[in-house]
Amino acid sequence: MTRTLSALGGTVLLAAALVIPPAVHAADNKPRETRPAAARPAPLLLSPAQLRECLDRQQALRARADEAERKQAALTASKAEIDRLGTALKEQLATLDRTSADAVAAYNAQAAARDKMIDQYQEGVPLHNTEVEALKADRAAHAKACENKRYDEADEMMIRKGK
- Residue 38: the pLDDT is 59
For the chain, give every domain's residue range.
Answer: 48-160
Q: What is the pTM of this model?
A: 0.63
According to DSSP, residue 30 is labeled S
**Backbone phi and psi for residue 100, each to the nearest 5 degrees, phi listed first:** -95, 115
Q: CA quadruple 123, 128, 138, 155: dihedral positive or negative? A: positive
Query: Stretch 30-56: mean pLDDT, rounded?
Result: 74
CB 81 within 8 A of CB 117: yes
Whether residue 114 has pLDDT greater than 80: yes
